[in-house]
Each structure stands twice: as structure tokens, then as C-alpha cells.
Chains A and B, each alone.
Chain A
Amino acid sequence: MDNLLRVRDLKTSFFTYAGEVRAVDGVNFDVAGGEAVAIVGESGCGKSVTAMSLLRLIPEPGKVLAGSVELAGRDLVKLKEREMRHVRGNDISMVFQDPMTSLNPVLTIGTQLMEAIRQHQKVEKDKARARAIETLEMVKIPSADKRLAQYPHQLSGGMRQRVMIAMALSCHPKLVICDEPTTSLDVTIQAQIIELLKDLKKATGMSIILITHNLGVVAGLATRVIVMYAGKIVEYGPVNEIYGIPQHPYTWGLLRSVPRLDAAEKRRLVPIYGQPPDLLKPPVGCRFNPRCDHAMKICREQEPPFVPVNGNGQHHVACWLQHPAAPAVAGFKKGVPA
């Protein structure tokens, strides 16, 4: 598979009065064409800032400091603002977390759908209208043509999120970023939305970046998982390996603390102790060390390098426990070393 998106050494900081907040601190990942990749991590880990950095929509006082974001070989970081506008909503579109606040309350669904279409495809109004109805039908909204005249408050949360997805799809984007698309919805609706995204991915061949703090919703959709902690990636790999042989203590914590939609047996949920660090002054060494049950001396002194977990070169982790000299941890299936 060719890589559609190549993100290299992405760094985004917020320059607040208190100092520089390194929200995204050297992130690398790829997304292949037609692939769904999940980014998981607790809230405040820099997932949304990563997503907004790809679209270059970081609000003041934030700034993308370094790195490259190549979409089909074109570095978005180097584009002019005008060119970037043509990427937003057209090549890469976005579905936000809260459908209750993400639609403009004083504009009709039709206006909001059609303005995206007419922004990028110079088409007549009735053509745009036809496309709007088509996308609403794609996301399985009943009586689509009547919805165009409705306002967001007349729809339920699940329906609004479908409208958001329709809006994201309307210009046939290559990549759709879904930032916690189900977090603010009821559990039953969550499953429906994930199911819908899965169908749409199959039907359109688009790539998806699914951002979530809930590892439970990942399994059905994504083929690869990126685990983020405190502005950095700590582990990434194929979804079955992240579930089957997770390597980072933070990933273990995430898996223990989150209910899984596909879990066969009822498990006891264990929250991760403590809070994510203050990104103004992240801990020295491994950023997870203050919360890690297995922290060693070196974890507090040096940042762990990424090491491959498997011979297949797909699964990597940044953790000192991978070091040959590290003690064994009970109950932990170490990946087959390369």
C-alpha cells in the first residue's frame, strides 16, 4: 500500500504566558490509502492538536514549529494559506467530537452542507443541492431532501453527527479525520456511527484517522493503532498486536481502564493512577515514568528509543522494559524480538 499521508517529526507548541506548552513533540506516522488508523490516549495527550496541525488550524497562541505533513507527496506545511484552504474539506476533512456544538445553530443543514460543496467544486446551486442530498443518503439519514431546510436543533445528536460526517464526505476527500466522533453520544449510537464509518470507508476507499481515548471503539474500524502520551507516540502497531501483545505499560493501562465493545467476558476496569503530566514541564526521561508501576532508574533519566517489537517491522514501542538488561515483568508477554 502506498502511503497517502506521511507525518514526520511534527512539533506543535502553544506559547502561553506560563511558557511553551509542547502539545505535540516530534510525532511520526503514516496512513496508507484506504486505511483507518487510530490515535488513542487520555485526554490532553495532544491528539486533537495533532489533527489540527495536519490541517494547519492551530489557534493562537499555538504554532506548528517543525516537521512535514506530506499528503500524496505534497508537503502541506509548505503550502500557502490559500492553497491550504483548498486542502481543507476537499482533500482532508474533519468530523469533530461534539455534534451538538459543531454545527452552526442559525444556518440550515442545507446551507452548511452546500457551502462546503460550492467552496471546492464550482457547481450550480441545484447540483450542490443534489450532492448534499446524496451525501445525506450515504450516511443513512431518512428523508434526506426534507433535512436540508431543517436547523441543527431539530435533529438528535446521532443525526447531527451523521450530518457532520456527510459534510466531511461531500467533496470526496482522500482522508477524513474523526476526532472522538462518538465520545459525546449514547453507547448504542456510538456503535452505529462506527459501523457507518466502516461502511463508508469500504464504499469510498477513503482513509480515516480515528482519534479516541477509548480503545474499545477502535477494534471494529482501525487496522493500526498509535498510542500517544504527553505529546509523543509511545507505541504503534497493528490493531491485533496492540490488543494481543501490548508492550508499553501505558497501553496496558489504557486496555485495562476501558470497556471494550467486543469484549467477550466482563472484565474489571482499572483506571490509570494519576494525571497526565503538565506539558509546560514534562518529566525527564520517559514521560510516563511518574505513573508507571515498572519505572526503573533509567526511565527517570533518559528517554527510551523506539525499538521494533516484532520481526515484521510493524510494531514499535518506546520503553526501557524492551532493553535486554531490563527485569522481566510478571504476566507480560514480550513480543518476539527481532
Chain B
Amino acid sequence: MARYILQRVFAAFVALWILTTVTFVLMHAIPGGPFTRERNVPEAVMRNIEAKYHLDDPLWQQYLDYLGGVVRFDLGPSFKFQGQTVNDFIRRGFPVSAELGIISIILSMAIGIPVGIISALRQNKWQDNVTMLVAIIGVSVPSFIIAPLLMYVFALKLRWLPPAMWGSWRQVIMPAVALALLPLATFSRLMRSSMLDVISQDYIKTARAKGLSELAVTWRHAVKNAVMPIVTYLGPLIAAILTGTFIIEQIFAIPGLGRQFVWSVNNRDYTTILGLTIFYGAFLLLMNLVVDIIYGFLDPRIQIAGRKD
């Protein structure tokens, strides 16, 4: 087990190094620097600034410096925000994005998975048809439509909830719901098809032939097998949602990582773009690793090297 994890961690570091390199090269291949402005800056001032940020060093030197920083979890200073580092942005934005993300994921799982199970058990009955229709809407209507819609109804018309910003629990509700809708719909569809698949398996027939109740058949025999594909989907989902979402954070004016990223792109804040990309990549790799390990525990057929029984 330890050996397996070590191998995976090593592979993750290699992937992260490749990601860093590619992003670094791409950033430098884009024409126009961070200090390029319409307004002409005097030659001397420009050189001073470049010297301060080591932009006058040869590219390989800059690359090695940067890599050295990444290894020490130091993603460097922001080009655009005086006295701020990329680490500061993450320290401020990530908890906000993560809080919103965790609430959304819990919401989407708590509703999506049971709905999928019920749908499968009532296959082609009205319960199934209704939920699958709603799920299709959930999957196909983008959040930039859902979010303003929610805002219009619950904030402007009904005046039940504050329209935007961050701080109180009442401000969490709308963005969390808007963010949860897509994964919720995906969870219910995944769970439904996975359950349908499992229910037609031979071992379910065996369980019924033993005289078990439908509840025992569903819970002990079907659900545990059916959640496997869900776990696979969970890794990338957690990484994507917890690191902030551009659209929802933008619409609800939430000071998370997603909004920070959009701001950095608009302002050509190269180090921040680079740093946030690497942070996202690292987080994604970590989540996939965690999911793989959980999967290994859930499914005894997966032979993790070193596991003996």
C-alpha cells in the first residue's frame, strides 16, 4: 500500500512538473508583457521594473528560479498587485471557494444519489420520468442562466435572500444551489444508470433467492456496487469546484479563487495566472490520488500492491 502511494505521489510530481513547464513556456510565448501599456513608459523605468522582477534574466534562469519557488511552495509575487504574493491570493481566496464548493458538493450528493437510486428502482414509472427530465434540464442549462434567474426570483422579487457578496450563511444559499445543480443532475443520472446496471447482475438474483428483503438487496448488495462510478467522478469534481468557479463567483461577487483568476487574466498578471494554474493542477492530482485510494478500499478486486489477504 505504502509503495503504491509512493509511486502515485512520484507520478503526480512528474505531472506537476510538466504542467509547470508547459504553462511557463506558454505564458512567455504570448506577446505583450505585464507592463506593456498603451501609455509609453520611459526606457529606464521599464528596465528598472524588469530588473526588479528578474525579467531581464535569460529565460532558462527565470524558469529555474520559478521552479525553485514552486518546490518551496512559493509561487512568487504578483506582477500587478503591489506587495502581494500569489500565495496571499490563495490564502485569501481558497477558503472562500472551498467553503462554497464543499457545501455544493454535499448538497448535490445528498440529493443526487438518493434521487438516482429511487429513479432506478422506479424505472420508467412517473417518478423516474420526472427526475430524469429535471436532471436533463440541470445538465443542459448553464449556471450563468440559473444564477441570474435565482437572483431575480429570490433576491429581487421575493426578497428572501441577499443578492450577492459573501459573509453570512444567507449569502451562501443561492450560489451553492446554482453551483450544485450540474453535479446534482450528474450524480442522479450516474447513480441511476449505475444502479440499473447493478440490479440486473446475477448476484442480485442470488440475493433475492436467499429471501432477503428488497431493502437489504438494495442497500447491502446494489448500492455499494453502484457507488463505484460515482467515486471516480468525485475526484475531478471536487478539484474543479473547490478551487473556485469563474462564473458563479463573478455573478455573486464572491471573493474566491475563481474571481481572482478572471481578474488576473484580464490584467495579464502572469505570475498569478501561472501560480493559480499550478495550484489547481496540484489539487486535482491530489484529489485523484485520494479517490484512487478510497476506491481501493471500496472495491476488494483492485489489487493494491502490498495488500495481502
Contact = CB atoms under 8 A, between A and B. Distances in A.
B301 A105 contact: yes
A85 interface: yes
Chain B: interface secondary structure? helix
Interface string A71-107: 0000000000000011111100110101001111111
B207 to A, nearest CB: 7
A167 interface: yes
Given A85-B211, A105-B300, A164 B206 contact: yes
A93 B301 CA distance: 27
A1 B155 CA distance: 80
A151 interface: yes
B128 to A, nearest CB: 13
Given A106-B225, A151-B301, A89 B201 contact: no
Contact of A115 (B201, B210, B298, B309): B210
Interface in B190-238: 201-203, 205-213, 216, 220-221, 224-225
A88 B210 contact: yes
Which range contains the number of B residues in contact with the other chain? 20 to 34
B211 A86 contact: yes
Nearest to B299: A106
A57 interface: yes
B203 A102 contact: yes
Given A106-B299, A115-B220, A90 B211 contact: yes
A105 B225 contact: yes
B146 to A, nearest CB: 36
Contacts of B203: 101-105
B301 A102 contact: no
Given A57-B208, A88-B210, A104-B207, A115 B202 contact: no
A87 B208 CA distance: 11
Nearest to B123: A60
A89 B309 CA distance: 30
A153 B211 contact: no
A119 interface: yes
Which range contains the number of A residues in contact with the other chain? 20 to 34
A172 interface: no
A149 B309 contact: yes
Given A149-B309, A151-B300, A88 B208 contact: yes
A55 B208 CA distance: 10
A119 B209 contact: no
A223 interface: no
Interface in B295-309: 298-301, 309
B210 A107 contact: no
Give the one of B202, B209, B212, B301 with max A CB within 10 A.
B209
A238 B301 CA distance: 45
B301 A88 contact: no
Interface string B274-309: 000000000000000000000000111100000001
Contacts of A150: 309
B201 A101 contact: yes
A106 B209 contact: no
Give the one of B201, B207, B224, B298 with max A CB within 10 A.
B207
B211 A116 contact: yes
A120 interface: yes
Contacts of A154: 309
B116 to A, nearest CB: 18
A89 B202 contact: no
Contact of B225 (A87, A104, A167): A104
16 contacts: A85-B211, A89-B210, A89-B211, A90-B211, A96-B202, A96-B205, A96-B209, A101-B202, A101-B203, A104-B203, A104-B221, A105-B300, A119-B210, A120-B211, A151-B301, A167-B210
Given A115-B212, A119-B211, A167-B210, 20 more contacts: A55-B209, A57-B205, A85-B211, A88-B208, A88-B210, A89-B210, A89-B212, A96-B205, A96-B209, A101-B201, A102-B205, A105-B225, A105-B299, A106-B300, A115-B210, A115-B216, A115-B220, A151-B301, A153-B300, A153-B301
